[in-house]
Amino acid sequence: MLGVFLDRDSLDCGDLDFSRLNRILPELHYYPATALDEVAARIAEAEVVISNKVMLNATTLRQARRLKLICIAATGINNVDLDVAAQGNVTVCNCRGYGTSAVVQHVFALLLSLMTRLPDYRQIVREGHWQQARQFCLLDFPIRELAGKTLGIVGYGELGRNVARVAEAFGMQVRVARRPGAVEEQEGRTPLPILLPQVDVLSLHCPLTPETQGLIGAWELALMRRDAILINTARGGLVDEALLADALRQGALGGAGVDVLSLEPPVDGNPLLALDIPNLIVTPHSAWGSRESRQRLIEQLAENIQGWREGVPMRVVK
């Protein structure tokens, strides 16, 4: 059974063990990366295709006559035309929950850095200000504690729940937003317009859908407290990036930690990459990327293929 892995370098830094995957699918061919115009030729004879972010669109899928299984090396499935896959009786599986610990850790790395102004204090030490100080310490930037603050969470799946658990350990109060687009009442959930003025920190953990595209725009930013902090480790399209940059410059928001942008990599630039934005930390979609997280992903790919071969496919999307 021929298999192809289209973009191994998107998750492997030379530190992962692929032995189980290779045992289950001995004829698995690895490509470091695959351009869009290379996809059709590379999957033409494959029965199993593994892709992280390579697009599997209608045109290429219709040319893959032998294709039976697509394994997405991620949770998001927007790079696969699911309707065409279903028409061709192609099973599509994804991976789930592999990066929870890493992402939660990253959320609080961003939040703690912003609340303690860690990058700013590191910079003034590098510039020699502490060495020239008249007293033993520098307190040039306001430091705030998490204890007693209110955290608002949008997206209360596995990630949201685990972020809430850690927040409570810090002594924070947690409030959960009603699911975007939901019209029915949800017990224990607060409509976003009511939630936003109440929170000191807002953390986004929902998928990017038509209902959540541009979820945090001008109106929502205006509702937030001037010292509130926004954390986005979900999807860049959830936030109007130009308006967020302006809000930070104008002091209308206390800070932001962002691990995702609307276009990745940001080959054409991005408003949040400007160097004059205060109290902003941008990381390169690395929240999920611990070695342990990436190894769990490989193990889930192996489980998905083995389950499918045995007639009990796992984590089926469609």
Catalytic machinery residues: 235, 264, 285
Residues in the chain: 318
Q: What phi and psi values does residue 225 have, to the nearest 5 degrees?
A: -65, 150
Alpha helices in 50-146 (DSSP H): 58-63, 82-87, 100-116, 118-126
CA dihedral angle for residue 113, residue 117, residue 122, residue 125, rounded to 10 degrees: -160
Which residue type, as a one-letter code, is found at position 286?
Answer: S
| Distance in angstroms (rounded) separating the CA atoms of residues 228 and 248 | 10
What is the C-alpha R_g of the chain? 22
Q: What is the DSSP string of 153-208?
A: EE--SHHHHHHHHHHHHTT-EEEEEPPTT--S--TTEE-HHHHGGG-SEEEE----
Residue with tokens 């990630």: 159
DSSP 210-278: TTTTT-B-HHHHHHS-TT-EEEE-S-GGGB-HHHHHHHHHTTSSSEEEES--SSSS-TT--GGG-TT-T
Q: Which residue has the tokens 């494959």?
A: 46
Among 253, 246, 256, CA closest to 276: 246
Cβ-proximal residues to 203 (8 Å cutoff; 6+ apart), any chain: 107, 111, 151, 152, 153, 154, 160, 163, 231, 232, 233
Structure-token match 């962002």, residue found: 258
Q: Is the peptide bond before 265 cis (omega within 30 degrees of 0)?
A: yes
Q: What DSSP element (H or E) covers 30?
A: strand 28-30
